[in-house]
Chain A
Amino acid sequence: AQKITQTQPGMFVQEKEAVTLDCTYDTSDPSYGLFWYKQPSSGEMIFLIYQGSYDQQNATEGRYSLNFQKARKSANLVISASQLGDSAMYFCAMIPGGYNKLIFGAGTRLAVHP
Chain B
Amino acid sequence: DAGVIQSPRHEVTEMGQEVTLRCKPISGHDYLFWYRQTMMRGLELLIYFNNNVPIDDSGMPEDRFSAKMPNASFSTLKIQPSEPRDSAVYFCASSPFRGPDTQYFGPGTRLTVL
Contacts and interface: CB of A to CB of B under 8 A. Distances in A.
Contacts, number: 63
Contacts of A62: none
A50 B102 contact: yes
Nearest to B56: A101
Nearest to A105: B42
Interface in B18-54: 31, 33, 35, 42-45, 48, 50
B42 A47 contact: no
Contacts of A93: 43
B107 A44 contact: yes
17 contacts: A43-B89, A44-B106, A45-B93, A47-B105, A95-B100, A95-B101, A98-B99, A100-B33, A100-B50, A100-B55, A101-B45, A101-B56, A102-B43, A102-B45, A102-B103, A104-B44, A107-B42
Interface residues of A, number: 27
Given A101-B45, A104-B42, A104-B43, A47 B102 contact: yes
Interface in B57-114: 89, 91, 93, 95, 98-108, 110
Interface of A: 31-33, 35, 37, 43-47, 50, 52-53, 91, 93, 95-102, 104-107
A108 B45 CA distance: 20
Chain A CB count within 10 A is highest, among B45, B56, B99, B108, for: B99
Task: Give the interface size class of chain B.
Answer: 20 to 34
Interface residues of chain B: helix, strand, loop or mixed (majority)? strand
Chain B CB count within 10 A is highest, among A37, A43, A45, A52, for: A45
Given A43-B89, A44-B108, A106 B100 contact: no
